[in-house]
Structure 1
Amino acid sequence: MDVQRIILIGALAIISYMLVLQWNQDYGVQPEPVAQTESVSAYQSNTDTPTESSSDLPQTATAGTTDVPGAKAVVNNQQKQLISVKTDVLELLIDSKGGDIIEVALPEYKAVLGSDQPFVLLEQNGNRTYVSQSGLIGTNGPDADPAGRPTYTTAANSYSLEGDELVVDLVHTADDAVTITKRYRFTPGSYEVTLEYLVNNGSAENWQGKLFGQIKRDGSGDPSETTDMGMQSYLGAVFSTTENSYEKVDFDDMREANFKAVSQDGWVAMSQHYFLSAWIPAAGAEYSYSSRVSGGNHIAGFVSPGFDVAPGETKTVSANFYAGPKVTELLEAAAPDLELTVDYGILWFIASPMAMVLKWIQGFVGNWGVAIIFITILVKALLFQVNAKAFKSMAKMRKFGPEMTRLKELYGDDRQKMSQSMMELYKKEKINPLGGCLPIVAQMPVFISLYWVLLESVELRHAPFMLWITDMSVMDPYFLMPILMGGTMFIQQLLNPTPPDPMQAKIMKMLPIVFTFFFLWFPAGLVLYWLVNNVLSIAQQYVINKQIDGEGPKKA
């Protein structure tokens, strides 16, 4: 290859690289801080804000009443009041009308890398409707009142956790002398919120009701999704019952039919990339779980069995609400099987132990990129013998390539004799012509499993590696690692035998370019794994080639 041709190819490569950079800047996914829109009450007369529909509540809430979609409660200043609650890991807004949680921000997780703005999981505004609702329905439940949701009063408009526990009481007193306290409990470092309803029956009649909890979300996209390329994390509802510990019900499923199940214990969740919200009813009772669509919102929730409060008595019902990251240890502590929402796909039996080992290594090295390098070395060691056999077979095919060419020229169009001679050569030299496929076949399950581990591990979100790689969960901003990965694939091909079929040889030469293009928008952590794997494969194959080249041909 002359110097002029090398210069032209180099110039073309540089121009192509600059074009890809510019294209990504203009059209690629560019995470930018989004101006936070304040969440608002759903019970306002202003037509520019969302309004609550009676059909948004469980059906038993409207039993015996006229269901008028869009019916609004009378609004006053007190009903518009939002209650602010802050802990070390949660920042919430509670609507005094109904006592629903209409906003949850996570200060430990930033909206985008380098921003001080916390990631907002739940919100109710013009951007998105994603809220946690709860109440008392049934015969005497205040949320079953056709006049609208109950209005609660609080001692303050703002609360902050100081000490071991924060208790926020919302109080509602009905005309019949029944006092209902909706109590939220918060503890340091916890993404779980305990909800308690204390029903004090000061009337002369028996009080009957049911507890419901539900998560309402519109059909907007996942704000925590980092890429439009490749497989995406699940977005939708999840139910856990005695019959099925982990059952997905996505938004399309909800629009087609309502999900209904009755189960002892269980939970209901709304899952997205990296984060989760879930209602976990108190253990020891049989609950009704369901989903439905109302006014464009997708609703998934539970209803408790009915309970009675005799005159002069006080009774408490409770449930826990989780809103936070999909960290396996936190989810395991919150509820049985809740950790299954960290969904590793069909190869979970490979991905789960891989995730455990990756986190264990990271605990020692303190860097997720270095942990990925170590787990790549570990996987390579486990597959060492499989790869060694394949590389030996390829090295022998490379060494005896001239002999194969001679046999092809000798027998010409006599394919039967040529095939017979080839098989004798393969048998004598212990060559497996399909051996070169073994490394790729063995690596693919590991590769796919690691893809899901990196995709689902919130710990890698905004986790830096080194130099320009500041977030292992998103693509390399300068595409340097994918280019290096493509270069290592090209070097591997130089160490492999050239396929005898000209068309196959051309396809193999194109593979590094094709793989490089696909990997441009893959998470940097995944590209790092493949790059390190290629480097280790090159070293192993180079040593084996030298060993095979030093051996003489076997005697017949």
Structure 2
Amino acid sequence: MEFRRTLIMVALAAVTYFLFLSWQQDYGTKPKADEVVSTAVTVEAGEMPAVVAPAANSDIPAVAVATAANVSKPVLVSDSTTSPHVRVLTDVLDVDIDRLGGDVTRVSLPKYTQTVTDKTPFVLMNQSNNLTYIAQSGLVGVGNGTGLQGLDDQASGRPLYDVAQSQFTLADGQDALKVVLSTTTDAGVKVEKVFTFTRGDYRIGINYHVANTSDKPWQGVMFGQIKRDNSKDPSSDNHSFGMVTFLGGAWWTADKNYNKESLDNFGKEVMSQQVTGGWVAMVQHYFVSAWIPPAQQINQISTRKGNNGADNYIGFTSSPLLVAPGGQGSVAADFYAGPKIQDKLKTLSPGLELTVDYGWLWPIAQFLFWLLKSIHGFLGNWGWSIIVLTILVKAAFFKLSATSYRSMANMRRVMPEMQRMKEQFGDDRQKMSQAMMALYKKEKINPLGGCLPILVQMPVFIALYWTLMESVELRHASWILWIQDLSLMDPYFVLPLLMGVSMFVQQQLNPAPQDPMQAKVMKIMPVVFTVFFLWFPAGLVLYWLMNNLLSITQQWVITRNIEKAAAQQSGH
């Protein structure tokens, strides 16, 4: 009996521990070299150019340093704050593009508001005093070659593009919108940077079209990277006890479809790999930005820390693009900035849907989300969907739960006899233990019968916790009355208090521990859990409350039947 109680307490403690653990960032600091050595790279025919640390302009990745004589220089300006931006509006995106370099410097999402009460669009990416989070791309020289090299240069800066107008809007009935930025170098190489926006799509197609009207060959490498400072995840303000979800970079490799590194480790854990296709991303709670090169293209992906120590970069460089005199060529990649909706991400690139990080219980969490989403398809309300999901999960474990409750009911039935034995044997633990084992054998009671079902259901509860926390579909999802956001805590603490009451009621149906200390601990357990759950997401508390209510009903029926049968038997 004592061991059984201890095991249950350990199980409850483990649930609490994993709930807290899932809020923490996934990786700690790993010992690695703190600096990246800057070196020039020789590019052989057919090889991928390697990325090395930049020497001057840290925003431009150095594939290799091109010689001054070979650099074809476009019209440049040195201060990006003086160059105007181009604004692009679609049904799902509101984007600012800096004419200097053609970088995406702001992305807001009209379909997602800041909070339930603040209906202004959620700003995902921005370049401001409070946040540096932008998507950069360009054409750099491969170096150590002949002819004209690249467009973006570490020493000279970024090209200033021309554009037809300062604002573009996807009109009603229009499916796609193209925004063309163009520049021509002194040597006669014309470059068009074409942004393609599609209705209902958070993906932006970016295509470089190079027309070489000079008398020399031109070559360049496309780079795409995400630059982000160390500012916190915007969702961290809603997290309890100061705990945060994962914030950092992620990427795909052939060996492992989902790799990740927290921002804290970017300067210590440097990644550089060659892949075919793949993607690189910056992940935060509910949202993700990602560069997705063509699936058949050989790319070099990498992470690095900026020279200032404040900025973090994750990006790719493509295979070299070679354009003969009088010829044309193009290189392209897609950029995604939006919610972590698994169905959409999966169609963009394999493994990108894994940025919806359900942790080590991913298979269970994925099934629960599929089930929850299917229920929502019929009911149209996430709160009622969670209740129905709770009923289905409870039904799946009905027999296991029944075994547990029968064991507890039988233990409760023989409690008077156990109390009599305790008074009889006093402090003689050996005789007490022998007498209890004999009683268990006589009454056909398994003292551990109630533990296994609890342990089996623990992974389901933890997986559901991650499901509710990571699914953007539940962000700002209302239920009834005062519950306007199931992803946040109950503002009036009604659900946590009801959950605490339900735990207390359920505890009364269980046999009381023989050990006085354990009895005291079990009595305060509902209070402790209530305090924890005050700041937990309302959706998770709703699940726990409904699970407790269903458990109380099932346990009460089983306990009543067993006690009734025992009373009838003793009456005979």
1:94 shift after superposition: 0.2
Structure 1 residue 229: deviation in Å?
3.5
* C-alpha contact (below 8 Å) 1:79/1:97 kept by paired residues: no
List alignment gaps of at least 5 residues for structure 1.
1-51, 66-72
Matched, 1:432 2:432: no
Counterpart in the other structure of 1:187: 198
SS of residue matched to 1:481? helix
Counterpart position of 2:157: 148
Asked whether the equivalents of residues 194 and 321 of structure 1 are also in contact (C-alpha less than 8 Å), the reply is yes
1:324-377 Cα distance to aligned partner (Å, 9 max, x none)? 000001101111110010000011111010010001101111110111101111
Are residues 1:269 and 2:272 paired? no
Aligned to 1:369: 383
The one-character-per-residue Cα deviations of 1:266-304 (angstroms, maximum 9, x if unpaired) are: 100000000000000012121101111112100000000
Asked if structure 1 preserves the Cα contact closer than 8 Å seen for 2:62 and 2:154, the reply is no
- Which letter maps to 1:442? V
Distance 1:242 1:76, change over 3 A: closer
Q: Does 2:209 match 1:205?
A: no
Residue 135 of structure 2 corresponds to residue 132 of structure 1: yes
Cα distance, 1:323 vs. partner?
0.3
Aligned: 1:259 with 2:271: yes
Which of these residues, 494, 500, 516, is aligned with residue 530 of structure 2? 516
Superimposed CA distance per residue, residues 513-533 of structure 1 (whole angstroms, 9 cap, x where no aligned partner): 000000000000000000000
User: Which residue of the other structure, out of 401, 404, 417, is the alignment partner of 2:431?
Assistant: 417
Alpha carbons of 1:448 and 1:78: their partners in 2 closer, same or farther (altered >3 Å)? closer
Q: Over aligned residue pairs, what C-alpha RMSD do you find?
A: 2.0
- Other-structure match for 1:217: 228
- Which amino acid letter does the alignment assign opposite residue 227 of structure 1? H
| SS of residue in 2 equivalent to 1:435 | coil
Letter in 2 for 1:340: L
Residues 226-241 of structure 1 correspond to what in structure 2 (within 5 A)? 226-229=238-241, 232-241=244-253
Shift of 1:230: 7.8
Structure 2 length as normaliser, TM-score?
0.84
TM-score (structure 1 length as normaliser): 0.87
Separation of aligned partners in 2, 1:176 and 1:245:
43
- Return the alpha-carbon distance in structure 2 between the equivalents of residues 171 and 110 of structure 1: 34
8 Å Cα contact 1:229/1:522 also seen in 2 = no
**Mapped contact 2:240–2:536 kept (Cα < 8 A):** no
Quote the offset at 1:420 in angstroms.
1.7
Task: Quote the Cα distance in structure 2 between the aligned partners of 1:223 and 1:145.
Answer: 32
* CA 1:257–1:345: 2 relative to 1, 3 Å: closer
What CA distance in whole angstroms lies between the structure 2 residues aligned with 1:221 and 1:356?
Answer: 30
Number of aligned residue pairs: give it: 499
CA distance in 2, matches of 1:422, 1:299: 65
Q: CA deviation at 1:252?
A: 2.4
Partner of 1:384: 398
Counterparts of 1:463-478 in structure 2, within 5 Å, are 463-478=477-492
SS of the residue corresponding to residue 215 of structure 2 reads coil
Q: What is the deviation of 1:413?
A: 3.4
Once the 2 structures are TM-superposed, how far is the Cα of residue 74 of structure 1 from its aligned partner? 3.8
Does the 8 Å contact 1:62/1:146 carry over to 2?
no
2: distance between equivalents of 1:176 and 1:275?
42
Q: Distance in 1 between matches of 2:565 and 2:340?
A: 54
In the other structure, the counterpart of 1:94 is 97
Shift of 1:212: 0.4
Q: Which AA in structure 2 matches 1:159?
A: F
> Which segments of structure 1 move beyond 6 Å, counting only runs of 4 or more?
none
Counterpart-to-counterpart distance in 2, 1:399 and 1:264: 66
Against the structure 1 CA distance between its residues 489 and 160, is the aligned structure 2 distance closer, same or farther, given a 3 Å change threshold?
same
2-side partners of 1:184 and 1:459: how far apart?
A: 28
CA offsets, 1:237-290, max 9 Å, x none? Answer: 001011321111222221113211011111000000000000000121211011
Q: 1:170 to 1:74 in 2, by over 3 A?
A: closer
8 Å contact from structure 2 (residues 218, 325) kept in 1: yes
Is this contact kept in 1: 2:56–2:155, CA < 8 A?
no
